Amino acid sequence: MVFRATFDCLWCGTPHAVRAPDDLEGYAQLCPACVGRAGENGFLRFRLKAALAERSAALAGQASVEPPPEPALGSAALAEDLSVEMQAYYAARAAEYDDWYLRRGRYSRGPVHDLAWNADLDAATLWLDGLPVRGEIVELAAGTGWWSTLLAGKGVLSIYDVNEAPLDRARERLLAHGLRAHIHVRDAWAEPDRLVDAVFCGFWLSHVPRRRLAEFLGLVRRWLRPGGTFAFIDSRPDPHSGAADQPVSAEEEVSSRRLADGREFRVVKVYWQPDELEAALRAAGFATAEVRTTSRFFLLGSARV
């Protein structure tokens, strides 16, 4: 990342202006407070390490200490290495994440496309509500809990996310509906600690790198009791799905995402095809697998052990 004399901190969003042209903060694009916390945060350590290399190269005139080039956007190697940056992005996006569902602000794409979005969202909701999901349910990468209120009415729900900020919003949503769930900070990649009747993921499989899909589906399989159900909803590559300043590419495995305050992050974003997901689910040991699409925006998938 290039040196910037003024910027909004990539982690906390605080505006900052550097005092000198070789200040480390300008290379990291982190405010001094966040630089000081780098020892306790993976994303901050990553940015600080990169900034040290970039500043060293600049001070040496780009001579003998040139850092290795960053992998090309969309490469499998880069996709494997973005988990910390994605975690930072979704923590920072918690306050505006529901704007995407509700087509507010940057996500409003005009009456025609917004009407189609809402129709597809209704179709996805009815589909999930109609699934035979009951008993003990785990929702991985639950985010702000958009789907949690529906799932909480079907059984005993545990919702997990790697970030606390979106879970706070999920908790508020559940309380507003008079519903309960077990809410814990937990990585979607963490090994199961028990067997459950159902696992659900909303818009998470598209953040699983292609080379790790079999690994993640195997993990889901280990969560489930015999007869258990795995259900998921995810994205199709419609150009009007995201914000107007957020291009969609079905070919690239890594995408750039911008927040309302201008901060940018890179995330893994894979647009799976129904047939490849069905094949991957069967290869992971699921007895049945069905993946369908709504008219434009979503994939709807279910599989049984």
pLDDT band at 30 (very low <50, low <70, confident <90, very high): confident
Q: Is 261 helix (H, G, I), strand (E, B) or coil?
A: coil
- Kindly tell me if the per-residue pLDDT of 4 is higher than 90: no
220-248 average pLDDT score: 93
- Six token digits for residue 27: 């290379």
List of domains in the chain: 6-69 (no CATH), 91-304 (3.40.50.150)
- pTM reported for the whole predicted model: 0.76
Radius of gyration of the chain (CA): 21
Outline where DSSP puts E strands in the chain.
6-8, 15-17, 135-140, 155-161, 182-185, 196-202, 224-235, 254-258, 264-268, 288-293, 298-304
- Residues 185, 192: Cα–Cα separation, whole Å: 14
pLDDT band at 24 (very low <50, low <70, confident <90, very high): confident
- Kindly tell me if the per-residue pLDDT of 245 is higher than 90: no
pLDDT at 38: 74
- Kindly tell me if the per-residue pLDDT of 42 is higher than 70: no
pLDDT at 248: 81
% pLDDT > 70, the chain: 91
Which residue did the predictor score with more confidence, 3 or 143?
Answer: 143
Which residue did the predictor score with more confidence, 254 or 248?
Answer: 254
Question: pLDDT, tens digit, for every residue of 94-119?
Answer: 999 999 999 999 999 999 999 999 99
In this structure, of 213-222, 233-242, 255-264, the range with the lowest mean pLDDT score is 255-264
- Residues 124, 130: Cα–Cα separation, whole Å: 10
